[in-house]
Amino acid sequence: MSGDHRLPDNSPYRYKVSAFLHRDRRGVLLAGLDRITGQAVALRQIDLRQFDGRERASYLAGLERDIAAATTFHHPAVVQPHSLHVEGDDAFIVMDPLDDAAALETRGIYPAETALDLVCQALDALTRAHERRVLLHELRLRNFFATPDGRLRIIEFGLVPGDVGDVLDAQKARAEEAALMSPEHCVGERVGPRSDVFSVGCILYRLLTGTLPFAGPDYTTTVARIVSSAHPPLQERHPAIPAALVTAIDRALAKKPEDRFESAAAFAAALRHAMAPVPDVPPDAPATPGEIEAIGRALIDVAGPLTPVLLARMTQDAPSRSVLIERCLETCAEDADIFRTRLEMADEDP
């Protein structure tokens, strides 16, 4: 081992492969050991034969810049990259180890609670990246992994994907490269945080149904569906999904950015609300005047002066207090957590 420490940093023998982790359309993902530092690493292979000489040099230079920038961003869901290692026609992104995490795309349908927890971890990472104005390239489902205990692990976060097709030659592009692209990205318009909301909405749809919402047989068909076609109704593929969750996902997958959640944080709040249990009340107990008044006090912090009108409308034909509360939660949308907190306070101090 002492001889290993005399290896130069750029030695082709620096990394010892210890295990095969995963294969996807981009290449292979390996577990390895850094012979110089003795640290466990993960190695993401990139096949450089897809580039000609000039393209290869430009791509590698851009990737090295991305890696240097990504080393300053830290989040529990993001696997930290360290460096780029090139051997012949292969480049390897050297990153923290993945341990026992498995690719999300290798599993079919996820339980709703598990899917939402994983997606909320992704949205939290995106929220932090947006707040810090980290440059994000398009997301790829292949880069999302999860550990058996439910921790999300995202590799290549903020790195140029390295899929040559949709940049240089449409004939080489794969459907997978477009699967999470937003409509505005597909047509070359400006992208932003709401574009990432769309992409994560696609991931959540895939975890809940086993299929991507706009997947086509090829790149061109997939792009056309993203731009022009509605996604198959979620409840047709998963009838047990709560209506509030369907509403949140439909909003995330809206064609126009302005019709989506304004941020990753707002999308996460809506998802948590959708799966949150309604406060326990007798199912057939009508709301008493005092309970309606308490609900109104909780609602006014969200709805303001519109509260009397909204409350009167929602109280009509509400068979129980629980139904009235559910209607209020749906009306509050991303502000549902505020309403829920105010309602709990109102219940404690009538």
Q: Where are the domains of the chain?
A: 4-95, 102-275, 289-348
**Confidence bin at 4 (pLDDT 50/70/90):** very low
Average pLDDT, whole number, for the chain? 86
Handedness of CA 212, 332, 150, 242 (dihedral sign): negative
Spell out the residues 6+ positions from residue 197 whose beta carbon is closer than 8 angstroms to its own.
252, 260, 261, 263, 264, 267
CA distances from 214 to 25, 144, 220, 223, 278 (A): 19, 19, 11, 8, 33
Average pLDDT over residues 36-51: 90
**Confidence bin at 12 (pLDDT 50/70/90):** low
Structure tokens at 319: 């068979």
Beta strands across the sheet bearing 144-146: 102-103, 144-146, 152-154
Structure tokens at 203: 């991931």
Q: What is the CATH number of domain 102-275?
A: 1.10.510.10
Query: pLDDT tens digits for 317-332?
Result: 888 888 888 888 888 8
- In the chain the first and final C-alpha atoms are separated, in Å, by 71
- How many other CB atoms are there within 10 angstroms of residue 277's CB atom? 5
Q: What is the CATH number of domain 4-95?
A: 3.30.200.20
* pLDDT recorded at residue 7: 44
Structure tokens at 205: 């749809």
Handedness of CA 133, 134, 136, 141 (dihedral sign): negative
Query: pLDDT tens digits for 265-275?
Result: 999 999 999 88
- pLDDT over threshold 60, residue 295: yes
* pLDDT recorded at residue 337: 82
Nearest to 163 by CA among 183, 138, 126, 145: 138
Query: pLDDT tens digits for 204-238?
Result: 999 999 999 999 998 899 999 999 999 999 988 88
Query: pLDDT tens digits for 146-189?
Result: 999 999 999 999 887 665 443 444 555 677 778 999 999 999 99
